[in-house]
Amino acid sequence: MKLGDYNSSTIARWNAGNYSGFYFDPEKGLGDETLVLYNVHGRTVLPPSRPKVDETNRTAFQDGFQYTSFLQPKEFDYKPWGSYFVMSFMGIQWFAGYDSSLLGKKATNSLLEHEYLGRVLMDSEMRGIVVAGNYSLAEGYVMHIRDVGDDSIFIQLLKDGIQVDSSVVKSNSTYVYKKDLGDVADLPIILVHVDNVFDGGGQRFATIDGIFQISDEYILPVEPGLGMGDMEIVSTQPGVIVMVNNDYINLNRDSSVAIGPGLNIRVADNDTLRYYLYTSEYVVPKPSPPQIYLPGNVTSQAKANFSMIVEAAEIRQVTADILNSSNLTIYSRDITQLAQGSGERWSFSWDWNLTALHLSDDGSMVLDANGGPVPGLLYLNSASAPVQVVVTFDPTGRISSITGSNLAYYVSEIAYRRLNLPTDYETMLANETARKQFIKIELGKSMIRFLNVVDGRLFFGGSNHTLQGTLNSLEPHAIRVSVPPGRYELRVRVENAVDAIQMFGEYFNVTAPVTTRLDATNASDSMSRAAANKSIIEPGEAPSKKSDAPGIFIVLATIFLMALLRRRG
């Protein structure tokens, strides 16, 4: 007997159209999950049994719940790669494979046909310009571009700091890293498409326009016999997974019954059996626009004080940037740790001392990141290609560290002490092996070029700065200078587990300090007028008394003189 030849009797059916707990992408039409309840005996759902057929109505009667999910093709975001296969399973979209035997040939890169499902970590079409340096992927992978040639790039792939692959990738080609997953050998887990390589002002750049990565740490087994709550997988085929309830399920009055992950049935408190399917999930709200309080005007000798109230849960990062009238970010601070509050309501308060950082060698401005990372390009010597780095400055303005993704190019003595390593700084410098771990720059030869952030985008700053001085006191250093009067903008970005929101257009003015200048001529005239008007009694002022002291002095002097003359006579 083939059930497809008969009508199926059901009393409830759920899919993505009437149950939000199933995965569905309306733009791409992806998501094909169905849960069917065939029959209920009183308040009990029996396990499936052999169907009973009514030949008159050509209807098959069954028992139990049945869950099905079907394989679907999904187009890569980078369209020239074509499509891969996904399956929506228990409300989540999973990676099923790059091919399928449903296409009429043996599948060699299918997880599903080996009874596994995987997770897609990255699938994006992009237009990113890269130079030699480190670029982070997911799950600890780092793509290190060691060299950019005339028509190719040399890629080294690292996993948790250990090299696992390397390859020369020509322009308009795809770098592929393969790995064994489950029973599938040589499954591509990372794809990177290099569009072209070009020369821009003496520096070579490459354009990457497609990245795809699946997890090699998390794969889900879906072999028959695997139980998930009260449901059990009974069939895993190239195009479908089928689950049924493997035991009796009681729909008791006024109860909640969990039949599987994300599948819960709420039974009404009623004599008549009434129920609905639901899923329990905490939905983190997106951040709401914060209420920001900032000064309208502040003198350059004071501090600008800011505060704001944020309504957001599971906050990950909050940053505050100050931009000048040219939209150049001159100050940036991570204020996440300043949060005061709980739940979904938080307050932040911070200040800015109205200064900017300028480099000691040529006076050019560099981003004041409040001790945080400042982006730049490092040339170890005149013959080496630039690598992307971040530079940190200590509170005195000295360079504290220069680091790449997983490499240290320079660490100052103060920064080294914070690492709490067993050897001191001088001992480390004396040990060639240890020194190479922390010091790679060459004094007088290595150069750094800082990147500016203009309207949220990175641009090359001024000229290259040669790293000189000593390892204990690297030059150039940063000098703190008061910002000139003018209009400045505060931009705040709040990111939580769901989304991020950025606020623009919060302006304030920095004004010159007010000074009082007293002109000498006017001061003299004022004093003369004050003396001339001394006898004038101001309203409410008591008349001043003349002193009796001069008259008494004259009388005493006369008596003394007469007595002296009589004595002489």
The rounded mean pLDDT for the chain is: 85
Cβ 367 vs Cβ 333: under 8 Å: no
Whole-number CA gyration radius for the chain: 39
Helix residue ranges, H only, 207-305: none
**pTM exceeds 0.75, yes or no:** no
- pLDDT tens figures, 150-162: 788 888 999 888 8
Place of tokens 């329990």: 280
More confident position, 301 or 380: 380
- For the cut 70, the answer to whether the pLDDT of residue 491 exceeds it is yes
Domains of the chain: 1-115+222-281 (2.60.40.4190), 120-216 (2.60.98.40), 291-354+485-511 (2.60.40.10), 357-482 (no CATH)
Q: Tell me if the bond preceding 476 is cis, omega within 30° of 0.
A: yes
Paired tokens of 138: 């997911």
pLDDT in tens, 290-329: 999 999 999 988 899 999 999 998 999 999 999 999 999 9
User: Cα separation of 153 and 429, whole Å?
Assistant: 34
The beta strands (E) that lie in 353-422 are given as: 355-359, 365-366, 374-379, 387-393, 399-403, 408-411
Write down the pLDDT at residue 542.
36
* pLDDT tens sequence across 102-115: 998 899 999 999 99
The pLDDT value given to residue 200: 59
Residue 552 has pLDDT above 50, yes or no: no
> Angle at CA 453, nearest 5°, toward 447 and 455?
160
Q: Where are the alpha helices (DSSP H) in 478-536?
A: 520-532
Q: pLDDT above 70 covers what percent of the chain?
A: 85
Tokens, residue 265: 């049935």
417's enclosing H/E stretch is helix 413-418
